[in-house]
Amino acid sequence: MSISPLSPLENIKTGSRFLRGTIAQELNNPVTGAIPESDTKLLKFHGSYMQDDRDIRDERRKQKLEPAYDFMVRARLPGGVIPPQQWLALDALAQQYATRGLRITTRQTFQWHGILKRNLRAFMQGIHDARATTIAACGDVNRQVISSVNPHLSSQHALIQEWVLRLSNHFLPRTTAYAEIWLGGEQVGEAGDEEPIYGNNSAYLPRKFKIGVAIPPTNDCDVFANDLGLVAIIENGALQGFNVAVGGGMGATAGDPSTYPRLGSLVGFVAPDDLIAVAEAVVTLQRDHGNRQERQHARLKYTVDRLGVAWFREQIQIRSGRTLQDARPYQFERNGDRYGWSRGEDGRWHLGLYIASGRLWDRDGLRLQTGMREIAKILTGEFRLTCNQNLVIANVDDADRAAIDALVQEYGLDGYKEQSGIRRHHIACVALPTCGLAMAESERYAPVLLPKLEALLDKYGLRDEPILLRLSGCPNGCSRPYLGEIALVGRALGRYDLRLGADFVGERMNSLYRENIDEHEILGSLDALFGDYAQRRQPQEAFGNFLVRTGIV
């Protein structure tokens, strides 16, 4: 029997001397704005992607110029918590080095776009000085751990954030390459490096790995879209532990039916004290059994499907030395974010703000980035980014609310007050012009599409109806489109798959309704369906549930 060769990236990793490659030398090469391809793969583990401006790619090719290379950087901000001083520092970096403001991602952290190679080191040093990091924000490792933000009300939320931090820290790579390359760390080389979790051959994981923690009744982080999903079980106001789900993931490759989105499978319940051991068992099982030959089949979801959920459950117990109890009952009531002011158990206040596709910049007559800076200057609490690309100004003293409200209004951050239900519940991935994988517009299409959808909803008196809309520029699924009640998944410029019928709580995926259609057909299909929904829906019935109950999807 012939054994398939390892994917080329496996060799790049194992030959990288714990993620060094030749990144340090190539940053100093003034001849090109790029770095070699093998280094671009390793750079991801350091939290950065090489990109080029796709709007001007053809023009530069005609002029025989190299593409307009620059770098996207993603921070690691577990649970999306940002103290005001840190906000100011991260914002200052955006002003000095980035071209597109601050971008809140669907995994509640910041991305910066457009950083030039010659500035990359100073940028990373700036992130470090702001007491943040970018290590393992991307790459074949455990990435940013996400968690529920809404409502940020109880002492249990604060406790769960401590677990988020513990998980995040536990799975950080231990390589000293990051300090060496970016922070002027001692050039000690890899001799002393060890990776107790990821393996001492520098192979790290077969593919990216994601952990999410949801706090019922809100599934605002789409917990079942994560490789390891944890549902916090709180009884009588106290955290009992976590239900554990394995094998979630959204990505699919266009035209390859052997790839698919999958929701995590519940395998049991674990008490807090056993959480790290169980999580480590899941990560190392994937390290040892994940597919290292074909990257399109390398995520944990394929490992779980190949070896079976029962086998995987058993192996978690053997490896961790812990017994998984039966999953505990819980109920999700909603997805999406809560906007406006809410009051926590301790009497402090939280203000949820809507940020269109997470982009905070001063443009088109808006001064969102400046407004947030002014708020950061007076805030005594902290900021929390949400997994729906929005943010919460959290832990605000009663006495400070009026000043914050005034700034929110002055800088046009009060959009949440008037938005339609579908706008308040939409997510759009970045896509063009920065994403190298985009096949269609997404973030830039949202402001064009939304008014047209709103006009249709108005026709049927559905403007305030909360409907989960997800736009993605390709099937990779960065906006978790397979969990949208309505989703558009880009296939080519101006053409999308229309998917319909997920539930409102992130527990049922949608189905393909029309393939590869243009805007005219999208609006035509939805016009008819909205009309039907307005007429035949049951009281309180969500759009996705209506479509499934009536057999439309």
Active-site entry in 478, 480, 491, 499:
478
CB of 294 to ligand SRM, least distance (A): 12
Q: Does 472 bind ligand SF4 (CB under 6 A)?
A: yes
> Which residue type, as a one-letter code, is found at position 81?
V
Rule CB under 6 A: choose which of 144, 168, 218, 510 binds ligand SRM: 144
Q: Which residue has the tokens 């994937």?
A: 286
Residue 138 designated active-site: no
Q: Does 435 bind ligand SF4 (CB under 6 A)?
A: yes
Interaction with ligand SF4 in 473-502: which residues (CB under 6 A)? 473-474, 476-478
Q: Does 387 bind ligand SF4 (CB under 6 A)?
A: no
Residue 452 designated active-site: no
Active-site entry in 210, 334, 338, 423:
210
What does 413 bind: ligand SF4, ligand SRM, none (CB cut-off 5 to 8 Å by kind)? none
Rule CB under 6 A: choose which of 429, 446, 457, 547 binds ligand SF4: 429
Q: How far is CA 93 from CA 97, 113, 128, in A?
A: 6, 11, 11
> Which residue type, as a one-letter code, is found at position 196?
P
Q: How far is CA 137 from CA 17, 47, 108, 174, 256, in A?
A: 19, 5, 11, 14, 27
Residue 54 designated active-site: no
Query: Which residues, listed in sequence order, are joined to residue 211 by a DSSP beta bridge?
Result: 228
Q: Does 263 bind ligand SRM (CB under 6 A)?
A: no
Interaction with ligand SF4 in 49-108: which residues (CB under 6 A)? none
CB of 358 to ligand SRM, least distance (A): 6
Active-site entry in 474, 480, 499, 508:
474
What does 424 bind: ligand SRM, ligand SF4, none (CB cut-off 5 to 8 Å by kind)? none
- The per-residue b/e assignment along 243-264, b for 16 or more CB within 10 angstroms, e otherwise, is bbbbbbbbbbeeeeeebbbbbb
The number of angstroms, rounded, from the C-alpha of 183 to the middle of its chain's C-alpha atoms is 26
Size of interface with ligand SF4, in residues (CB under 6 A):
13
Size of interface with ligand SRM, in residues (CB under 6 A):
31
The number of angstroms, rounded, from the C-alpha of 338 to the middle of its chain's C-alpha atoms is 18
What does 473 bind: ligand SRM, ligand SF4, none (CB cut-off 5 to 8 Å by kind)? ligand SF4
Q: In this structure, what token pair is assigned to residue 10?
A: 């496996």
Active-site entry in 44, 138, 429, 480:
429
Query: Which residues, listed in sequence order, are joined to residue 360 by a DSSP beta bridge?
Result: 102
Cα separation, 459 vs 457, in Å, equals 5
Residue 44 designated active-site: no
Residue 210 designated active-site: yes
Residue 74 designated active-site: yes
Nearer to ligand SRM, 241 or 506 (CB): 506
Closest to 207 in 3D by CA, of 514, 454, 476: 476
Rule CB under 6 A: choose which of 144, 442, 510, 545 binds ligand SF4: 442
DSSP one-letter string for 223-273: GGGSSEEEEEEEETTEEEEEEEEE--B----TT-TT---BPPEEEEEE-GG
Residue 474 designated active-site: yes
Q: Does 49 bind ligand SRM (CB under 6 A)?
A: yes
Nearer to ligand SRM, 208 or 384 (CB): 208
Rule CB under 6 A: choose which of 188, 307, 437, 493 binds ligand SF4: 437
49-55 long-range contacts (CB < 8 A, ≥24 apart) are 49/74, 49/138, 49/436, 51/113, 51/434, 51/435, 51/436, 52/436, 53/114, 53/433, 53/434, 54/432, 54/433, 54/434, 54/436, 54/438, 55/432, 55/433
Nearer to ligand SRM, 360 or 404 (CB): 360
**CB contact at 8 A, 334 and 504:** yes
Task: Return the sign of the alpha-carbon dihedral for residues 467, 231, 258, 436.
Answer: positive
Closest to 46 in 3D by CA, of 147, 165, 173, 216: 173
Interaction with ligand SRM in 477-516: which residues (CB under 6 A)? 477-478, 480
Q: For the window 147-186, what string marks contact with ligand SRM as x by the rule CB under 6 A? A: ----------------------------------------
Q: What are phi and psi of 87, to 5 degrees?
A: -55, -50
Residue 377 designated active-site: no
Q: Please report which helix (H) or strand (E) contains residue 302, including its range.
A: helix 300-307
User: Residue numbers of the site for ligand SRM (CB under 6 A)?
Assistant: 49, 51, 72, 74, 105-107, 109, 111, 143-144, 208, 210, 222, 225, 249-251, 299, 358, 389, 429-430, 434-437, 476-478, 480
- Catalytic positions are 74, 143, 208, 210, 429, 435, 474, 478
